A and B are shown apart, each in its own frame.
Chain A
């Protein structure tokens, strides 16, 4: 049977993506497959398709390679709380990136940084406050004052100022 389920899934996922790219993404976003601009993307996608099929084939026969076992594979020994922490960290970073536009650098970073400390399990408020203030103040001084390169103010604050 399938010796390496993880690789098999990866191969299948990639192959699926390549097919989607060849049928839909490239024609709609680049141009017909025979265009000069579409040549390179199409060739590479085809190449990945072949490779991912190869990967699936290998996964059928070869057991998990030794090198792969060094990193704990998904599902094994990863506690649920860790997974939640991970998802929360990603969510905070995504919100951070999208809110910078609106709320500006200082406010967003402040909130994001404190939130990150909290999900990482740090509860020493004084330490949190000290690290946050020093980091942000340092960056603010470097960018705004020393380099004259403005940090994003945020549309919210800009509207408030007008």
Chain B
């Protein structure tokens, strides 16, 4: 064991690999911070380039790139309300109001600390508890996943909307949009209007860029963009507004820890992903808070929670990858290609056949978490400078970046049209008080719910009893019912309290 560790250390801890990890974090947080571009695109584009590099260097760089971009997205989410990455959509809900109050620095730092804590937490999980977590993840079959997703849908339904009905409408619209494409079970075409490009469904990233970034440009244009920049930058004279005090961090630690746990759990389950994790993290904080009404208006915990959760996905998503050969998230699936091209077939034999490479990778992962604490700092300053530039100069650049970002991931021109369509739709959603964030998370969770429900029913031969006889499924079903009851109870009590005043 010790021999392996020493060998791993000598292989991994070279200046060359440090550079790889640092480069990944830098590229990721830079691309993540630029609205329109994002880490998933960067990873997809970088993969072929890394085929010729050494395995540890390229894997450390790709994972760093992923981690960096998940954090980097929060910079533009907080400063511009235009999340650079989909994972940061939940962060902007409270981050942008904080920035408008002149507390951009505070929100940015809190996002960074929460991200790093979440990332370290999940990397430690990967190192010490990979086999049991992988075993736990495998216990989730279609029936269990169906109930889990149902639970998640109930938890996040309506996030960021002005009223409950509008929140639910946004959620349902997201689910409806997700049915475009091939039916997941019969592979018949649904709402494709004879276009093969729609057969593959609406490309998530293209839609997101339109919905979250382009629409925000339009909204801010309308809200008098000549003045907008000065308002967002109204810096408070209080030095505390641009840093996180120890007391504030301590107050958030509970939330951060719960979010990290949730994030790691979402990461380890194949196909649940970091966007779900971010929203689950945000909503657990909101629902467990004593002051849920402050969320969406600039609550610091509302920044810490999603950032801890989405960064906790990265390390955990490698758990099923290295133990079972099953990637836990979309980016992990692409990173699996980097393992394979270097002759490291992911799966149970990886640990026994190449222990020194895997331990070396673990070391680099932890190291890159610390890089993450330092490398984005200048980027934060740069971001704060960029938004002081008049919006008239900024917006054309952002719009061109949106086009490139939509095109880049799949290199498909059709996605650019999708992006523009959703940019306009997102503008109207915001005008009508509907929530693009709720639509987005439903777009991701909705089809999962459908697929898993129908798969479970296929397994059971059509009997819904499968959701009751499997203990884990039953547990989540009961949790869902409890959640609905609790929400109703809290609303009633909230109304009662309001009436008493």
Contact = CB atoms under 8 A, between A and B. Distances in A.
Q: When A and B assemble into the complex, do they touch directly, with CB atoms less than 8 Å apart?
A: yes
Interface stretch (B238-246, B329-337, B413-421, B488-496): B413-421
A122 B392 CA distance: 7
Interface stretch (B310-318, B366-374, B429-437): B429-437
Given A30-B191, A55-B169, A96 B403 contact: yes
A101 interface: yes
Interface in B139-167: 162-163, 165-166
Interface in A71-99: 71-74, 78, 82-83, 85-86, 89-90, 93-94, 96-98
B172 interface: yes
B124 interface: no
B53 interface: no
B235 interface: no
Nearest to A47: B172
B2 interface: no
Interface stretch (B72-80, B214-222, B247-255, B278-286): B214-222
B485 to A, nearest CB: 20
B454 A89 contact: no
A93 B190 CA distance: 27
B222 A82 contact: yes
Interface string B454-482: 10000000000000000000000000000
Interface string A33-47: 000111011001101
Contacts of A47: 168, 172
Interface in B162-188: 162-163, 165-166, 168-169, 172-173, 175-176, 179, 183, 185-186, 188
A113 B396 contact: yes
A51 B172 contact: yes
A112 B400 contact: yes
B411 interface: yes
Contacts of A139: 400, 404
A59 to B, nearest CB: 10
A48 B179 contact: no
Contact of B417 (A74, A97, A152): A97
A68 B393 contact: no
B324 interface: no
A55 to B, nearest CB: 5
Interface in B204-225: 214, 217-219, 221-225
Interface in A58-75: 58, 65, 67-68, 71-74
Contacts of B327: none
B400 A51 contact: no
Given A93-B423, A116-B396, A14 B169 contact: yes
A14 B173 CA distance: 10
Given A139-B404, A148-B48, A89 B221 contact: yes
B192 interface: yes
Q: Which size class do A's interface residues fall under?
A: 35 or more
Contacts of A72: 222-223
Contacts of A68: 162, 433
A25 interface: yes
B431 A90 contact: no
Contacts of A113: 396-397, 399-400
Given A55-B169, A116-B399, A152 B218 contact: no
Interface in A94-124: 94, 96-98, 100-101, 109, 112-113, 116-117, 120-122
B430 A37 contact: no
Contacts of A37: 183, 185-186, 188, 190
A152 B395 contact: no
A48 to B, nearest CB: 5
Contact of B397 (A78, A97, A131): A131
A67 B162 contact: yes
Give the residue among B46, B185, B400, B411 with the most A Cβ atoms within 10 A.
B400
A56 to B, nearest CB: 10
B345 interface: no
Interface string B23-64: 000000000000000000000011011000000000000000
B218 A86 contact: yes
Nearest to A154: B413
Contacts of A45: 176
A40 B450 contact: yes
B209 to A, nearest CB: 12
Contacts of B221: 82, 85-86, 89, 120
Contacts of A98: 417
Contacts of A58: 163, 165
A127 interface: yes
Contacts of B396: 113, 116-117, 120, 131
Contacts of A6: 432
Nearest to B419: A97
B93 to A, nearest CB: 13
A31 to B, nearest CB: 7
Contacts of B183: 36-37
A98 B414 CA distance: 9
Given A68-B162, A116-B396, 14 more contacts: A29-B189, A48-B169, A48-B176, A51-B168, A54-B165, A58-B165, A86-B222, A89-B221, A93-B403, A100-B407, A112-B403, A122-B393, A131-B396, A151-B407
19 contacts: A7-B433, A25-B191, A29-B191, A36-B185, A55-B166, A68-B162, A68-B433, A89-B221, A90-B423, A93-B399, A97-B403, A116-B400, A117-B396, A135-B401, A136-B400, A139-B400, A147-B45, A147-B46, A149-B411
Interface of B: 45-46, 48-49, 162-163, 165-166, 168-169, 172-173, 175-176, 179, 183, 185-186, 188-193, 214, 217-219, 221-225, 391-393, 395-397, 399-401, 403-404, 407-408, 411, 413, 416-417, 419-420, 423-424, 430-433, 446, 450, 454
